[in-house]
Protein backbone atom coordinates (compact mmCIF):
# COMPACT_ATOMS: atom_id res chain seq x y z
CA UNK A 1 0.00 0.00 0.00
CA UNK A 2 1.30 3.43 -0.95
CA UNK A 3 1.25 6.01 1.78
CA UNK A 4 -0.20 9.26 0.52
CA UNK A 5 -0.17 12.68 2.12
CA UNK A 6 -3.60 13.62 3.46
CA UNK A 7 -4.39 16.19 0.75
CA UNK A 8 -3.16 13.89 -1.97
CA UNK A 9 -5.20 11.04 -0.55
CA UNK A 10 -8.37 13.13 -0.56
CA UNK A 11 -7.80 14.33 -4.14
CA UNK A 12 -7.21 10.72 -5.15
CA UNK A 13 -10.36 9.59 -3.36
CA UNK A 14 -12.40 12.30 -5.09
CA UNK A 15 -11.13 11.32 -8.54
CA UNK A 16 -11.72 7.63 -7.87
CA UNK A 17 -15.26 8.10 -6.54
CA UNK A 18 -16.16 10.44 -9.41
CA UNK A 19 -14.99 7.88 -11.97
CA UNK A 20 -17.04 4.94 -10.63
CA UNK A 21 -19.41 3.87 -13.42
CA UNK A 22 -23.14 3.64 -12.93
CA UNK A 23 -23.97 -0.09 -12.61
CA UNK A 24 -26.97 0.22 -14.95
CA UNK A 25 -25.47 2.56 -17.56
CA UNK A 26 -21.73 1.89 -17.43
CA UNK A 27 -20.86 4.67 -19.90
CA UNK A 28 -21.71 7.33 -17.33
CA UNK A 29 -19.90 7.90 -14.07
CA UNK A 30 -21.29 8.89 -10.69
CA UNK A 31 -19.96 12.40 -11.34
CA UNK A 32 -21.74 12.50 -14.73
CA UNK A 33 -25.02 11.56 -13.08
CA UNK A 34 -24.59 14.05 -10.26
CA UNK A 35 -24.91 11.29 -7.66
CA UNK A 36 -21.63 12.12 -5.95
CA UNK A 37 -22.29 14.87 -3.42
CA UNK A 38 -19.01 15.19 -1.58
CA UNK A 39 -15.76 13.48 -0.66
CA UNK A 40 -14.27 14.80 2.56
CA UNK A 41 -12.02 13.64 5.33
CA UNK A 42 -13.24 13.18 8.87
CA UNK A 43 -10.84 12.18 11.63
CA UNK A 44 -8.45 10.79 9.05
CA UNK A 45 -11.16 8.76 7.35
CA UNK A 46 -12.45 9.41 3.85
CA UNK A 47 -16.21 10.05 3.87
CA UNK A 48 -18.08 9.80 0.57
CA UNK A 49 -21.62 11.18 0.41
CA UNK A 50 -23.94 9.99 -2.34
CA UNK A 51 -27.49 10.89 -3.25
CA UNK A 52 -29.21 7.89 -4.85
CA UNK A 53 -31.01 8.60 -8.11
CA UNK A 54 -34.37 6.99 -7.62
CA UNK A 55 -35.57 6.08 -4.17
CA UNK A 56 -35.55 2.33 -3.88
CA UNK A 57 -33.41 1.91 -6.95
CA UNK A 58 -31.68 -1.43 -6.23
CA UNK A 59 -28.54 -0.02 -7.81
CA UNK A 60 -27.92 2.20 -4.77
CA UNK A 61 -26.29 -0.52 -2.65
CA UNK A 62 -24.24 -1.67 -5.64
CA UNK A 63 -23.02 1.88 -6.18
CA UNK A 64 -22.00 2.26 -2.52
CA UNK A 65 -20.13 -1.06 -2.68
CA UNK A 66 -18.45 -0.06 -5.95
CA UNK A 67 -17.21 3.22 -4.45
CA UNK A 68 -15.86 1.41 -1.38
CA UNK A 69 -14.11 -1.13 -3.62
CA UNK A 70 -12.63 1.50 -5.97
CA UNK A 71 -11.13 3.30 -2.99
CA UNK A 72 -9.85 0.19 -1.21
CA UNK A 73 -8.27 -1.06 -4.46
CA UNK A 74 -6.29 2.19 -4.46
CA UNK A 75 -5.19 1.73 -0.87
CA UNK A 76 -7.91 3.82 0.79
CA UNK A 77 -9.43 1.00 2.76
CA UNK A 78 -11.35 2.75 5.48
CA UNK A 79 -13.79 4.83 3.40
CA UNK A 80 -17.18 5.54 4.87
CA UNK A 81 -19.89 5.75 2.19
CA UNK A 82 -23.01 7.58 3.30
CA UNK A 83 -26.27 8.21 1.55
CA UNK A 84 -28.28 11.37 1.77
CA UNK A 85 -31.77 11.86 0.37
CA UNK A 86 -32.02 15.56 1.16
CA UNK A 87 -32.23 17.38 -1.10
CA UNK A 88 -33.47 14.68 -3.43
CA UNK A 89 -31.56 13.96 -6.62
CA UNK A 90 -33.05 15.29 -9.82
CA UNK A 91 -32.14 14.64 -13.42
CA UNK A 92 -31.09 18.30 -13.57
CA UNK A 93 -27.93 17.17 -11.78
CA UNK A 94 -26.81 15.12 -14.77
CA UNK A 95 -23.86 16.99 -16.28
CA UNK A 96 -23.66 18.13 -19.90
CA UNK A 97 -21.02 15.46 -20.38
CA UNK A 98 -23.34 12.87 -18.87
CA UNK A 99 -26.15 13.89 -21.22
CA UNK A 100 -23.87 13.55 -24.22
CA UNK A 101 -22.72 10.09 -23.07
CA UNK A 102 -26.31 8.93 -22.52
CA UNK A 103 -27.23 10.06 -26.03
CA UNK A 104 -24.23 8.24 -27.51
CA UNK A 105 -25.24 5.13 -25.56
CA UNK A 106 -28.70 5.27 -27.14
CA UNK A 107 -30.61 6.71 -24.18
CA UNK A 108 -32.40 10.01 -24.67
CA UNK A 109 -31.27 12.24 -21.79
CA UNK A 110 -33.94 13.98 -19.73
CA UNK A 111 -34.95 17.48 -20.66
CA UNK A 112 -33.56 20.41 -18.73
CA UNK A 113 -30.03 21.35 -19.66
CA UNK A 114 -27.25 21.39 -17.14
CA UNK A 115 -25.02 24.41 -17.68
CA UNK A 116 -22.11 23.54 -19.94
CA UNK A 117 -18.96 22.71 -18.02
CA UNK A 118 -20.81 22.23 -14.75
CA UNK A 119 -18.45 21.25 -11.96
CA UNK A 120 -18.12 17.67 -10.83
CA UNK A 121 -19.33 18.39 -7.34
CA UNK A 122 -21.80 21.09 -8.32
CA UNK A 123 -24.63 21.21 -5.87
CA UNK A 124 -27.35 23.52 -7.08
CA UNK A 125 -30.83 22.07 -6.83
CA UNK A 126 -33.18 23.72 -9.26
CA UNK A 127 -36.90 23.63 -9.48
CA UNK A 128 -38.47 22.55 -12.69
CA UNK A 129 -41.20 24.83 -14.01
CA UNK A 130 -44.49 22.97 -13.74
CA UNK A 131 -45.42 23.80 -17.32
CA UNK A 132 -42.09 22.65 -18.77
CA UNK A 133 -42.66 20.73 -21.97
CA UNK A 134 -40.23 17.90 -22.45
CA UNK A 135 -38.67 17.73 -25.85
CA UNK A 136 -37.47 14.20 -26.48
CA UNK A 137 -35.15 13.62 -29.39
CA UNK A 138 -34.22 10.27 -30.88
CA UNK A 139 -30.65 9.54 -29.66
CA UNK A 140 -29.86 7.90 -33.02
CA UNK A 141 -31.11 10.33 -35.67
CA UNK A 142 -32.07 13.36 -33.58
CA UNK A 143 -35.66 13.47 -34.79
CA UNK A 144 -38.17 14.85 -32.29
CA UNK A 145 -40.95 12.88 -33.98
CA UNK A 146 -41.14 10.18 -31.32
CA UNK A 147 -43.87 8.16 -29.67
CA UNK A 148 -44.04 6.54 -26.28
CA UNK A 149 -44.48 2.77 -26.34
CA UNK A 150 -44.39 2.12 -22.62
CA UNK A 151 -44.06 4.07 -19.42
CA UNK A 152 -41.28 1.71 -18.39
CA UNK A 153 -38.13 0.86 -20.34
CA UNK A 154 -35.31 -1.47 -19.39
CA UNK A 155 -35.61 -0.19 -15.81
CA UNK A 156 -38.37 1.69 -13.96
CA UNK A 157 -36.17 4.81 -14.25
CA UNK A 158 -36.67 4.88 -18.00
CA UNK A 159 -39.54 4.94 -20.46
CA UNK A 160 -39.60 3.10 -23.77
CA UNK A 161 -40.00 5.27 -26.86
CA UNK A 162 -39.83 4.72 -30.58
CA UNK A 163 -38.60 7.14 -33.19
CA UNK A 164 -41.16 7.65 -35.93
CA UNK A 165 -38.48 8.82 -38.37
CA UNK A 166 -36.01 5.92 -38.10
CA UNK A 167 -38.38 3.40 -36.42
CA UNK A 168 -35.80 2.58 -33.73
CA UNK A 169 -36.99 2.04 -30.16
CA UNK A 170 -34.96 3.74 -27.43
CA UNK A 171 -34.94 4.30 -23.70
CA UNK A 172 -35.74 7.74 -22.37
CA UNK A 173 -34.22 8.67 -19.01
CA UNK A 174 -37.28 10.07 -17.28
CA UNK A 175 -36.92 13.48 -15.67
CA UNK A 176 -37.25 13.26 -11.93
Q: Which residues contact Zn ion (rule: CB under 5 A)?
A: 138, 140-141, 143, 163, 165-166
Contacts 24+ apart (CB under 8 A), 128-132: 128/90, 128/92, 128/175
CB of 106 to Zn ion, least distance (A): 10
Instruction: Give the list of residues 6+ apart from residue 138 with CB closer than 8 angstroms, or none.
Output: 108, 144, 145, 146, 161, 163, 165, 166, 168, 170
- Beta carbon nearer to Zn ion, 18 or 138: 138
CB of 169 to Zn ion, least distance (A): 10
- Beta carbon nearer to Zn ion, 93 or 161: 161
Interatomic CA distance for residues 81 and 10, integer angstroms: 14
Residues in the chain: 176
Interatomic CA distance for residues 44 and 150, integer angstroms: 49
- Beta carbon nearer to Zn ion, 77 or 149: 149
CB of 11 to Zn ion, least distance (A): 42
CB of 89 to Zn ion, least distance (A): 29
Question: In the chain, what is the straight-line distance between the N-terminal and C-terminal CA atoms, in Å?
Answer: 41
Amino acid sequence: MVTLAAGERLARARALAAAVPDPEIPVVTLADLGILRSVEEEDGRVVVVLTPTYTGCPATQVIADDVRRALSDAGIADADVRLTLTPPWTTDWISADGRRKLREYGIAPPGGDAPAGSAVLRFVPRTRPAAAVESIDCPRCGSSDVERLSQYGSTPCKALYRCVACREPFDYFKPY
